[in-house]
Amino acid sequence: MFDFLFQKKNKEMQSMAEVIALDLEKLNLSKLAIEKAVMMIARAIAKSDIIVQTDSTQKSSIEYRLNVMPNDHECGTYFWTRIIRELLWTQEALIIPMNGKYYKASAWQVSNSVLSERIYSNITIECAGEQYGLYKKFMSSEVIHLRYDNAKIRVYLESVVNRKKQQMVICKEIDDYLKYVKEHPKWINKKRKQLIKNIVKPLLKRNDIFFDKETYENCLEYCKVNYYELFPYQKFIYAFVFMYKDDIPVFPKFFVKEGRGNGKDGFIVPLVNFMQTPLYGVRNYHVEIVANSEDQVKDTFKVAYDMLHENAKFKGKFSVTKELITNLATGSEMKYNTSNAKTKDGKRTGCLVLNEIHAYENYDQINVFESSFGKVKHSREFIITTDGYVRDGPLDEISSMCAEILETGENPLGYFPFICEIDSMKEVDIPDAWHKANPSMEYMPILANQIMHDYLEMKKIPSKRPEFITKRMDRSARKEEETVTTWLNVLRACYEGSTTEELELKKPRMTIDTKGQPAVIGIDYADIRDFASAGVLTKTESGEYIWRQHTWICADSPFLDSIKFPLKNIGQTEFNDFEVVPGPVIDVNSIVDWCMERCAEYDVKKIAMDTYRYTLFKRAFEERGLTIEDRKNPNGVVRLIRKITSATGIIAPFIQSMFSQGMINFGASAIMRWYTNNTSVTEDKFGNKMFGKVEPKLRKNDGFMAFDVAMFCKDELEVQIIYI
C-alpha cells in the first residue's frame, strides 16, 4: 500500500519505506520517529481517495466508510493509522466488515486449506479503546487481510525495540521544564520532585509509549492563537495528556492541586475546548464540567464562552449558548453541571472536569459521571482544586492515594499528580517558598502582589491565618480555636507517622491488645431515630489512651440519605466499626448487649453516659445486674454525668493536650475521624470549653461525645496498688 517505488539519481529503483528505514537508522532515532513516519504515511493515504471497483449500488456507502468514517467511533485518518502501524510492526493487519462498517481486528485465527476458502475464527476486534470477541466465523472473501513483507524494515524495527536505555519519548517542553526544576530547586516542592523522579523520568525511557507530538503541538498552537500562551509548567502537564500505550491514554486521570489565583480555569478550559475540535479528531467527545457551586462551574465555563461567543472566526464551527458549546464538525459538546447527580445517569462523557473538589462531601456526583467512562474513546478525568476545609472527603482520599503513587512510583490507576504546596508550615513565613504552592507566581506579578498583601493582612489579623495557609499555601489548616484539635493530630490518632507526608500514606496506627486490662465504656445516645455510639477506653503503660468504638445507625433516620459520610463503604477497611440497624428506632438492648460483651473482654470499671437518655437504658441495665453509681452505692458500674457541659469544661483541655502529644489512638477508624472533625469547641465568658457540633443535623459527633464521657472517667484506668 505504501511500498511505492521511486527512481534515485543513479537510476536505481527503491521503495519509499526503505528510504525511511535507512534515514531513521542514520539518525539513530527511536520509536517516536517511526510513529511520526507512520503518521505521515497514514495521512497521505487518508487524504487520497480509496476507490472501490464494483457495480454495487452500495459503492458510495463503502467508499464513504473506507475514506471518512470506517465506523461510528473512528475517523478515516485514525483508522488507517492503526492499520498501517500494525502492518509495520507485525507485517499484517485484518479488517472486519460488519453491518456496513469496518473494524480493526487485534487477534484472530485462520485456516490455511489449499482446496477451500480460508476461514477466520476466534476474532477480537478493537474499537474506541475496547476489545470485543466475535463468535461468528468469516470467510476470506468477507474480510480484508493485508500483508506487508519488507525484510529491511523488519530488521530495523527489531533493533529499535531492543534499545532499552535510550529515551523513547522526546518533547522539548518536557525537557525545558525538567531543566527549570533543576535550576530552581527552592521553588519546587517535594511532591513535584517525586513526580519527576518516580513517574516522569521512568516514562521517558519506555519504548512502548506513543507520544502524539503532532496533536500536542496543534493543541499548544490552538491555545496560543485563540486563548493565550501557556506557562511552561502548563505545557509540561499538557504533554502527558497525549501519551498512549496501545491506543489507551497512559494517564487517564490528572490531579492538579495548586494555590488560589494560579489560573486553574485558564489551564483546563483551552485544553478541553481543543479536544472538541477536528484537530483532536474524536467525534462526540463530550466534556462535562462539574462543581458543587453554580458560581464556580459557571466561571469555568465562561472562559470558553467568552472566547467563542460572537467571535467571527468561529462562526459555522461552534454553536454557542450560555449552557452548551457544541463543535459542529465533531458533535462534541461542552456543558456544566451542578444539579442532583441522580438525574445524570447514562451520559457518554469523554472528558470530565471536577472543579474545586475540596468542597465535595462524598463521591455521589463523581461516581455518576465516572460510570459513563469506557463508552467514549480516550476518556479522561481532570481534577482541579485548591485545598479546603472538608476533611475525610474525596480530596483527602485522592491526595492520600496520590502521595503513595508519588512515593512508590506504582501507578496502576494512571494518575498524573501535579501537586503544588509548601512542604512545611515554617515556609508560610518564607516568601521565596511560596512558589512551591503557586507555580504561576513568577509569571503573574499581580498574583505575587496579592499573596504578599494577604500575608501582611494575616500577620495583623491572626484569624485569617487558616484561610491564607489553606488557599494560598495549599495546605490544610483549620481554625484551631474552633475545633477539638488540628487535622494533623486527628490523622495521628489513626495512622503511623508525624508529618503530613507520612500520614498521607495511611499506614494504620499500631494498636496493642489491651483485653483484660482496666477499661471504661462511654455511651452517647442523643436521638433514638438517628445515631448512637459506644466505645471502650483503655490506657497503656506508656500513657496512650486507646479508644475502640461502635456506632449504630437507624435505617429509618430522616437524614440518612443526606448524611455527609460514605455509609455505603460499610464493611471495607476503616469502615467496619458501625452498622445500620432496621426499624424506626435503635434498640437500647443492642447497645447494652455490646457493653456486656466488652465487660467479658475487659476489666470494665465504669459505664459512663449523660442523664439525657438514661431512662431508656435503666431497665436494660437492671435486667443485666448493672447498678447505678451514687452516694449509697459508690461501687455502682453505671456512672451518670449529670452536667455534661461542666464535665466537658474540665476534661476538654486534657483531651486537647493528649491529641497534641499523640497519646490518643483511635485506630484506622474513618467514622471516628469524621466524628472528631465534626466537633466544635466553644468557650464561655469564664473560659470554660464546651464541645458541640459543627453542623446540627448532617455532621454527627456521637462517637466523639461517647469518647468525651469515657475520658471523664479516665482515673478509673489507673492501676491501683494495694500494699499489704
User: pLDDT digit string (tens) for 382-434?
Assistant: 999 998 877 777 888 899 899 889 988 999 999 999 999 999 889 999 999 99
- Cβ(372)–Cβ(347) below 8 Å: yes
Residue spans of beta strands (DSSP E) within 8-57: 13-15
Q: What does the alpha-carbon distance between residue 336 and residue 351 come to, in Å, rounded to a whole number?
A: 12
Q: What does the alpha-carbon distance between residue 697 and residue 692 come to, in Å, rounded to a whole number?
A: 12
Average pLDDT over residues 485-510: 87
- Cβ(391)–Cβ(400) below 8 Å: no
User: CA–CA distance from 379 to each of 248, 317, 371, 373 (Å)?
Assistant: 9, 23, 11, 6
User: CA–CA distance from 507 to each of 504, 537, 608 (Å)?
Assistant: 8, 22, 32
As given in the structure block, the three cell numbers for residue 353 are 472536569
The pLDDT of residue 53: 79
Q: Which helix (H) or strand (E) holds 257?
A: strand 253-257
Tell me whether strands 144-147 and 92-98 are parallel, antiparallel or unpaired: antiparallel
pLDDT > 90? residue 665: yes
Q: What angle do CA 452, 454, 458 make, to 5 degrees?
A: 115
Confidence of residue 2 (pLDDT cuts 50, 70, 90): very low
Which of 254-258, 495-499, 639-643 tops mean pLDDT? 254-258
Q: What does the alpha-carbon distance between residue 526 and residue 262 come to, in Å, rounded to a whole number?
A: 45
Q: Which amino acid is at 702?
A: D
As given in the structure block, the three cell numbers for residue 487 are 487535622
Residue with cell 505521515: 40
The pLDDT of residue 563: 77
Mean pLDDT of the chain, nearest integer: 84
Confidence of residue 642 (pLDDT cuts 50, 70, 90): confident
The residues near 542 (Cβ < 8 Å, ≥ 6 apart) are none
Q: Which helix (H) or strand (E) holds 549?
A: strand 545-554
Give 123's Cβ-side CA count (13 Å radius). 24
Which of 13-22, 123-132, 513-522, 559-568 tops mean pLDDT? 513-522
Average pLDDT over residues 458-472: 90
Q: How far apart are the first and last CA of the chain?
A: 103
As given in the structure block, the three cell numbers for residue 424 are 512545611
- Cβ(422)–Cβ(473) below 8 Å: yes
pLDDT > 80? residue 166: no
pLDDT > 60? residue 701: yes
pLDDT > 60? residue 11: no
The pLDDT of residue 476: 80
* Count of Cβ atoms closer than 10 Å to residue 258 Cβ: 24
In the sheet that holds 243-245, the strands lie side by side as 210-211, 243-245, 248-249
The pLDDT of residue 339: 47
Tell me whether strands 286-290 and 333-337 are parallel, antiparallel or unpaired: parallel
- Cβ(272)–Cβ(335) below 8 Å: no
Ramachandran angles phi, psi of 423, nearest 5°: -85, -25
Ramachandran angles phi, psi of 619, nearest 5°: -65, -45
Residue with cell 530495523: 156
Average pLDDT over residues 46-74: 79
* Count of Cβ atoms closer than 10 Å to residue 168 Cβ: 21
- Residue-wise pLDDT for 234-281, tens only, equals 999 999 999 999 889 999 999 999 999 999 999 999 999 999 999 998
Higher pLDDT among residues 17 and 475, named by residue = 475
- Cβ(4)–Cβ(16) below 8 Å: yes
The pLDDT of residue 257: 96
DSSP 683-709: E-TTS-EEEEESSTTTS--HHHHHHHH
For the ranges 144-153, 336-345, 513-522, which has the lowest average pLDDT?
336-345
User: CA–CA distance from 339 to each of 342, 575, 584 (Å)?
Assistant: 9, 28, 30
Average pLDDT over residues 65-82: 83
Alpha helices in 436-556 (DSSP H): 445-460, 465-467, 487-492, 500-504
The pLDDT of residue 27: 45
- Cβ(706)–Cβ(691) below 8 Å: no
Q: What does the alpha-carbon distance between residue 454 and residue 260 come to, in Å, rounded to a whole number?
A: 12
Write the Ramachandran bin of 591: left for phi over 0, alpha for psi from -120 to 50, otherwise beta.
Answer: alpha
Average pLDDT over residues 591-607: 95
- Cβ(43)–Cβ(77) below 8 Å: yes
